[in-house]
Every structure is written in C-alpha cells, then in structure tokens.
Amino acid sequence: MTVRIGITGPIGCGKSTVAGWLAELGAVVVDADAIARTVVEPGEPAHEAVIEAFGPAVRRSDGGLDRAALGRLVFRDPAALRRLEAIVHPAVRPRILAVLDAADAAGVPAVAIEAIKLVEGGLAALFDEVWLVTCDPAAQRARVIGRGANPVDADDRIRAQGDLAGRLGSVATRILDTSGSLEATRAAAAAAYARALAEDAPRSRA
C-alpha cells in the first residue's frame, strides 16, 4: 500500500526541503501550492472567480493574475485571505485526489503532498501521516527574506498565518524542527520516513 504523507507548517520553515529529501528516498512528491497556482491561471474557473472577488487590480495587462498585488492584499486582510482560500481550496482538492489515486495505482512506496494549508484546506484526513515542519522565528524570518521578500512583506506573510505551528501540533503525526543543522534535520527526516513506511504500509486504508 502506498503510504500517504501530508507535509505542512509555517512559511520559511523548510517544507520544500523536507519534501525534496523524501523524493530522493523514493516518494512521489507534489507541491499543493504549485497546483494552487495552476487552478487560477487564465481559462480556469477559479481565475475568473478571483478576479470577480478582488477586482481588476489583481489582473495583469496580459490577462494573467497579478500574484504580487493579490498577495499584498490578502496577507494584510484576514477576511480577504479567507475569501481567496474559499475559491482556491475546492479547486485544488480534486487534483490532489487524482495524484493520490495515481500513486496508489502505480504502487509507489509513498506519496507526499506539501501544503501550507493542509489542515485548513480539509486535506489532512486523506493522509496516513501529517508532518509538521517548524523552526524558530528568527530562522523563519531570515529564510523568507532570503527568498527575496522585503522585510515588510515577510512580516505580513508570517503574521497572516498566526500561530500555525501551535494550531497544528495536535493534528501532527510527527514534528520536524529544522532550526538545527541541515545534516541533523536530513537525518531526522530520513528516520521519520523509514518509520512511516514500516508503521503505515501494512495497514489497510478504509
């Protein structure tokens, strides 16, 4: 049986890095954020829904979505963020289900979905395990800025999530703290993956 692992956690704490290590270990890995970007491209129903909800200011001259403008809007307004998520999450879910079904059919050892809103998007119940990737606040902020965000935008994005790690702690099967060295974190991820395969693969999924 293919083991299903959901990877979530605050921005900047290393979800993509952990997911990349699992891919090297043989898991099929999918970034839900990449799917979310696809479902709001021109021609997709969610694209027009976003434009209708947020107005022409979030549409580029070529018809595409101005993600920077949309980000500045929703990460400073919790109500706007919830409105955006109500459009995007239902469009993402069937594509995630298709990935999980394809992984089962292919007989791969594990499939890992990286999603910052794994729980809020109603996806957590689809997985055998939920991994919460965390780090200390100073490392988180430095990493977000290191990706190219200016300090104000970085703070807005971090603040918009609130205490995400605290909220998800009770849901997580395993917690990986990436504040330490890369080598130690990678070893912890590999050990967690080995345990997941040993513990979850023998189970039958209802």
Q: How does pLDDT run across 163-174, given as a tens digit for each residue?
A: 767 777 778 899
Among 29, 37, 12, smallest CA distance to 160 is for: 12
pTM of the model: 0.85
pLDDT surpasses 90 at 155: no
Of 24-38, 149-163, 177-191, give the lowest mean pLDDT range: 149-163
* Residue written as token pair 């995630």: 96
Domain locations in the chain as residue ranges: 3-40+95-200
Which DSSP symbol is given to 145? H
Predicted pLDDT of residue 201:
66
Judged on CB neighbours under 10 Å (0-12, 13-18, 19+), 114 is buried
Mean pLDDT for the chain?
Answer: 89
Share of the chain above pLDDT 90, in %: 62
pLDDT surpasses 90 at 205: no
Predicted pLDDT of residue 202:
65
Q: Which CATH class is domain 3-40+95-200?
A: alpha beta
Between residues 39 and 78, which one has the greater pLDDT?
A: 39
pLDDT surpasses 90 at 108: yes
Predicted pLDDT of residue 117:
83
Helices (H) and strands (E) in the chain, counts: 9, 5
Most confident region among 55-64, 141-150, 162-171 by mean pLDDT = 55-64
- Residue 111: other Cβ atoms inside 10 A: 25
Q: What is the mean pLDDT of residues 50-65?
A: 93
Q: What is the mean pLDDT of residues 127-155?
A: 88
- Residue 26: other Cβ atoms inside 10 A: 11
Predicted pLDDT of residue 203:
62
Predicted pLDDT of residue 51:
94
Structure tokens at 22: 């699992």
